[in-house]
Amino acid sequence: MADGRLHPVVPSISAFFPCYNDAETIGNMVTVVDATLRRLTGDYEIIVVNDGSSDGSAQVLEDLQAAFPQLRVVTHEVNRGYGGALQSGFAHATKDLVFYTDGDGQYDPAELADLFAALDPDLDVVQGWKLRRQDPWYRKVVGRLYHHAVRLAFNLHLRDVDCDFRLMRRVALQSFPLVSTSGCITVELVARLEQGGFNVIELPVHHYPRLHGRSQFFNVRRIARTFWQLGGLWFRLHFGSESATALVPGSVPVPE
């Protein structure tokens, strides 16, 4: 018999990974997040955005789909950049909450459970901050300079702007546009959340050395595109060309 008490409804979760030449790591990421989601909710989906990978990622993902019915693969025939991959992931997510992290294995998807436990009704976003960045020294230096520069330029208040380990309410994501196709989409996302007055907290998460593949960001062409888009984003946010633009919940377009 029912005990007559009201039980809280457990929200559904979309978890996704951008994947660019991550054949060596994406299988473990999907496996771990599937096991984690099973413990958290009975209603979830896993999405991998294969962003024009040229390694064996497509075959790995095809094999994974046979083992994990909740997995959907979104394929970009050509690489659209990190921002383009995140835009596709956000647009294809259908559940109450959206979690994402990178597919390269530098974060542990099992720590999604910590973010989920911290999400109370008054919060819109729970995101990680890296306990200790496990990258080469030059990436640490550039990363800190980048972090301080964008915090100052965009008046951001987060401890770790570029920690791509986030759990967000989908209705929050649907309330503003995201247009960046480079790595500066992280700054755009955080700026939109702060601009919109959404409640965000940060939790510590572990960061691990990159054992396979190469970073998308650290080449001259991508760095140049990122800073060009940062300049455009700063102009739009400060001079209002997009600051008042909002999407009606449920109206986020799905990229082809």
Among 3.40.50.300, 3.30.70.330, 3.40.640.10, 3.90.550.10, name the CATH number for the domain at 13-239. Answer: 3.90.550.10
121: DSSP letter: T
Distance CA 19, CA 60 (A): 11
Q: Which of the pair, 167 or 247, is modelled with greater confidence?
A: 167
Read off the pTM: 0.83
Q: Confidence class of residue 256 from pLDDT cuts 50, 70 and 90?
A: very low
Q: Which positions ≥6 away from 73 have C-beta within 8 Å?
A: 47, 48, 49, 50, 61, 62, 65
pLDDT digits (tens, 9 = 90+) for 164-203: 999 999 999 999 989 888 888 999 999 999 989 999 999 9
Which one is predicted more confidently, 172 or 256? 172
Q: What is the pLDDT of residues 69-112, one digit of tens each?
A: 999 999 999 999 999 999 999 999 999 999 999 999 999 999 99
pLDDT at site 222: 66
Residue 159 exposed, middle or buried by CB count within 10 Å (0-12, 13-18, 19+) = middle
**Per-residue pLDDT tens over the stretch 19-34:** 999 999 999 999 999 9
Q: What is the pLDDT of residue 229?
A: 77
pLDDT, averaged across the chain: 84
Give the whole-angstrom CA distance, residue 44 versus residue 39: 11
Task: Flag whether pLDDT at 66 surpasses 60.
Answer: yes
Residue 130 has what DSSP assignment? E
Give the 3-state secondary structure of residue 33: helix
User: CA dist 135 to 56, 149, 168, 194, 229, Å?
Assistant: 25, 20, 26, 28, 25
Confidence tier at 154 by pLDDT (50, 70, 90): confident
Please name the residue that has the structure tokens 């998308």.
216
Query: Is pLDDT at 113 greater than 90 in this prediction?
Result: yes
pLDDT given at position 252: 41
Going from N- to C-terminal start, the domains of the chain cover 13-239
